[in-house]
Structure 1
Amino acid sequence: MSVENVLSLIKEKNIEWVDFRFTDIGGISHHISVPAVEVDADTFVNGVAFDGSSIHGFKGIEESDMVMIPDTETIYEDAFTAHPTLIVYCNIYTPGGDRYDRDPRSIAERAEEYLQTTGIGTAAYFAPESEFFIFDNVQFENSMNKSSFEVDSEEAVWNTGRKEEGGNLGFKIGVKGGYFPVAPVDTQQDIRSEMCRLMMEAGLRIERHHHEVATAGQGEINFRFDTLTKTADNLMKYKYIIQNVARQYGKVATFMPKPLFGDNGSGMHVHQSIFNGDSPLFYEKGAYANLSEMAIHYVGGILHHAPALIAITNPSTNSFKRLVPGYEAPVNLVFAKGNRSAAVRIPIAAVTPKGCRIEFRTPDSTANPYLAFAAMLMAGLDGIKNKIDPRALGYGPFDKNIYELSDEEKAGIRSVPGTLDEALDALEADHEFLLQGEVFSQDFIDNYINLKRADAKAVAIRIHPYEYELYFNL
């Protein structure tokens, strides 16, 4: 959309505010709202100034001036404001006009530009399956003498005996019993449908929605694939709309990977492929799962670099509460067709040549999508460039249910890192593939590792309530 068209839209829709947004390193959105009457063509050229020192992981106070430059292709109307507001996503620049190398959205765009310089293809397509929980209540507290959390849901298995005014209406969802029963068991049909309606108004193409496996209100909405940066933009819209619709219904939505003990967590399976113009490059009829050698090498790059990659695709300490055996978690670094116990699954049901893709199942939605998609692409491209063959390295194909194998049979299968610190160690040792084409900078990698190490340390030094059960009476 041209600047002129944006300005015309502001008048046509009687827009009162233009909301300029960007995403920080941790994946949190920030915004500045400007009166629409103050927005003109120069605004889209000169941008909106802000204090970078107040953004975690950005700039020091001595060099804090930064500029948001809006991307007019990202504009959509905010469904949650009383005053008509237009949202636009921005890239971050220095006052001198250079892209800021710690800006996640700029990193995503550089990854797409790098793909084109390699001559491998013209576009990479991504489609995340981002799961979430919708709770009725959340409470948590951390202090010197107290540490606790509690969530609740009308659907939850622990509420079968709860008495409320009017009585308990039953139809609770058991552990691992949520994959997709109809109402009245599924109480969230209308909430998800409203989320989808607003996503479609915001420009997303919705494919389906449904309840997910876990008890207590786990859901999933699938939207159609797009190019790397556009898909990351769409995922930021997705999360914003889900959390705000939940709030309108008096509920709360979370993308936390493992908010409940003893049931499935929330992942973000990421489908991905490369095209050259209109031609799909991952398809070869008659080959294993109809995958081309290019696709096999892309998988090889993902699996070879997976320990380091997971520091970006699963960047929270809570991520590793999900990445444990027994809860359909993709902890095994192998690939296979149609096999959900593998870290990389090749979908084979109703797949056309253009729909041929690989699915990396390990990530979760605590990942910053701009960084995660860019890092996955860079790992896959490294696999293509260096012809990394996952078959020769023992990464499959593995067409058995890995969860049911004996320890002896699983001995040769590499697993994901067990903690965030282990993943960060791997990223520290293996990140040269991210530096290619100056997509990620060394400064960004060093800064990112320091930020995430601080998270890991903050959790590690705190006393866990379960330690009282284990040790208090010794």
Structure 2
Amino acid sequence: MSVQHILDMIKENSIEWVDFRFTDLSGRAHHISIPAIEVDENTFKNGVAFDGSSIAGFRGIEESDMVMMPDTESVFVDPFTAHPTLVVICDIYTPDGERYDRDPRGIAQKAEEYLQKTGVGTAAFFAPESEFFIFDDVRYDSSMNTSFYSVDSVEGVWNTGREEEGGNLGFKVMKKGGYFPVAPVDSQQDIRSEICRLLMESGLRIERHHHEVATAGQGEINFRFDTLTKTADNLMKYKYIIHNTAKQYGKVATFMPKPLFGDNGSGMHVHQSIFNGDEPLFYEKGGYANLSEIALNYIGGILYHAPALIALTNPSTNSFKRLVPGYEAPVNLVFSKGNRSAAVRIPVAAVTPKGSRIEFRTPDSTANPYLAFAAMLLAGLDGIKKKMDPTKLGYGPVDKNIYELSDADKKEIRSVPGSLEEALDALEADHEFLTEGGAFSEDFIQNYIDFKRSEAKEVAIRIHPHEYSLYFGC
């Protein structure tokens, strides 16, 4: 889309404000709004200045000046603002015109460029299944003498006996009972449909939506795959629209991996494949699950580097409350066709050659999508480069319910790291695959590790409410 086309779009839609956005290290969006009458070709040529020292993990105060450079292919009209606003996603540059090596979006673009340089293929396609909860109420605090959280939902299984204004109308979602009964058990059909309407108006192709397994308003909306950076852009848009639609309904949405104890958490299963022009490279009729050797090597790279990858795909302490056996959590570093207990699943139902893909089920939506997708691609490419055979490396295939295997058989299966600290240790020990093609810099990786270790320490030193249950009477 040309700059002139955007300027015409501003006039045609009576746009009053242009909102320039970028994504920080943690995957949160930030923005600066400029009056539309002040936006012209020079805005797109020179960019928008901002203070990088005020963004956690970005720059020191002595080198704080940074520039947002608008991407003309990323615009959409904000569906929530009272004053018509056009959103433009930006890349981050230093004042001397160099790409900033800690810009997550720039890392994603460099990973795509590296794919083309390898000669393996021309494009990598990604499709995340990002699950979420929509609650009616959330309260939490953590201070010197208090630590608690409380969430509530009219659907919650704990509310079967609650006295409600007008009477309790029943039809709660039972524990693990949310996949996927019709209304009135599913009380969020309309809000998900409204989210989908807004997503489609903003440019996403929606494939379906439904209630998910857990009680208390867990849902999933699937949008169509695209290339790596565009899919990350779409996921940022997806989360923004879900958060704000929930707020308009007087509710609150969260992508936190494990907001409830004792029921399924929210993952982000990531489907991915590589094409060379129009040719799908992951398909070979007659192979295991009709996968090509390239696809198997890609899987080998994902599983071999998984302990380090998880520091980027599951980058929160809460991520590891989800990654425990028994809640459909993909904690086992094996691959399998159609098996949801494996970290890598190969979809086989109604799959065409062009739809042939692998699904990495371990990630969750606390991940920065630009970093997570780039890291997965680079791990897979390393597997292709080194011809990593996942079968010879001991990663399966395992076409059984892993949770029902004998203890002896389970011992042969490697598991994901048990904590964020373990994952960060793995990333520190194994990250050369990320620096291929200059996608991730050594500076970025060390800065990221330090940033996340600080988060882990903040949680580790705080008193947990359950410790009172265990130890107060000692």
TM-score by length of 1: 1.00
Report the Cα distance in structure 1 between the residues aligned to 2:408 and 2:327, rounded to whole angstroms.
Answer: 21
Give the CA deviation at 1:439: 0.3
- Equivalences, count: 474
Give the CA deviation at 1:275: 0.1
Cα deviation digits, residues 119-166 of structure 1 (max 9, x gap): 000000000000000000000011000000000000000000000121
Report the Cα distance in structure 1 between the residues aligned to 2:314 and 2:202, rounded to whole angstroms.
Answer: 27
> What is the match of residue 354 of structure 1?
354
> What is the match of residue 411 of structure 2?
411
Tell me the secondary structure at the aligned position of residue 391 of structure 1. Answer: coil
Please give the residue correspondences for 1:320-399 in structure 2 after superposition, counting only pairs within 5 Å. Answer: 320-399=320-399
Tell me the secondary structure at the aligned position of residue 355 of structure 2. Answer: coil
> What is the match of residue 2 of structure 1?
2
Please give the residue correspondences for 1:64-463 in structure 2 after superposition, counting only pairs within 5 Å. Answer: 64-463=64-463
Tell me the secondary structure at the aligned position of residue 469 of structure 1. Answer: helix
Q: Unaligned 5+ residue runs, structure 1?
A: none
Give the CA deviation at 1:26: 0.2
Report the Cα distance in structure 2 between the residues aligned to 1:407 and 1:77, rounded to whole angstroms.
Answer: 54
Report the Cα distance in structure 2 between the residues aligned to 1:99 and 1:422, rounded to whole angstroms.
Answer: 31
Name the aligned partner's letter for residue 112 of structure 2.
Answer: E
Report the Cα distance in structure 2 between the residues aligned to 1:406 and 1:96, rounded to whole angstroms.
Answer: 60
Report the Cα distance in structure 1 between the residues aligned to 2:460 and 2:324, rounded to whole angstroms.
Answer: 18
Give the CA deviation at 1:20: 0.1
Tell me the secondary structure at the aligned position of residue 283 of structure 2. Answer: coil
Instruction: Could you list the structure 1 runs, at least 4 aligned residues long, displaced by more than 3 angstroms after superposition.
Output: none
Tell me the secondary structure at the aligned position of residue 352 of structure 2. Answer: coil
Q: Unaligned 5+ residue runs, structure 2?
A: none
Tell me the secondary structure at the aligned position of residue 221 of structure 1. Answer: strand
Report the Cα distance in structure 1 between the residues aligned to 2:467 and 2:201, rounded to whole angstroms.
Answer: 48
Give the CA deviation at 1:45: 1.0
Cα deviation digits, residues 228-273 of structure 1 (max 9, x gap): 0000000000000000000000000000000000000000000000
Give the CA deviation at 1:322: 0.0
Percent same amino acid at aligned positions? 80
Tell me the secondary structure at the aligned position of residue 413 of structure 1. Answer: coil
Give the CA deviation at 1:292: 0.1
Report the Cα distance in structure 1 between the residues aligned to 2:255 and 2:118, rounded to whole angstroms.
Answer: 35
CA RMSD of aligned residues (A): 0.4
Cα deviation digits, residues 20-49 of structure 1 (max 9, x gap): 000000001000000000000111111000
Tell me the secondary structure at the aligned position of residue 6 of structure 1. Answer: helix
Name the aligned partner's letter for residue 144 of structure 1.
Answer: M
Report the Cα distance in structure 2 between the residues aligned to 1:290 and 1:54, rounded to whole angstroms.
Answer: 50
Give the CA deviation at 1:406: 1.8
Give the CA deviation at 1:333: 0.1
Tell me the secondary structure at the aligned position of residue 74 of structure 1. Answer: coil
Name the aligned partner's letter for residue 225 of structure 2.
Answer: F
Report the Cα distance in structure 1 between the residues aligned to 2:287 and 2:303, rounded to whole angstroms.
Answer: 20
Report the Cα distance in structure 1 between the residues aligned to 2:165 and 2:100, rounded to whole angstroms.
Answer: 56
Name the aligned partner's letter for residue 157 of structure 2.
Answer: V
Report the Cα distance in structure 2 between the residues aligned to 1:201 and 1:45, rounded to whole angstroms.
Answer: 28
Report the Cα distance in structure 2 between the residues aligned to 1:254 and 1:348, rounded to whole angstroms.
Answer: 31
Tell me the secondary structure at the aligned position of residue 73 of structure 1. Answer: coil
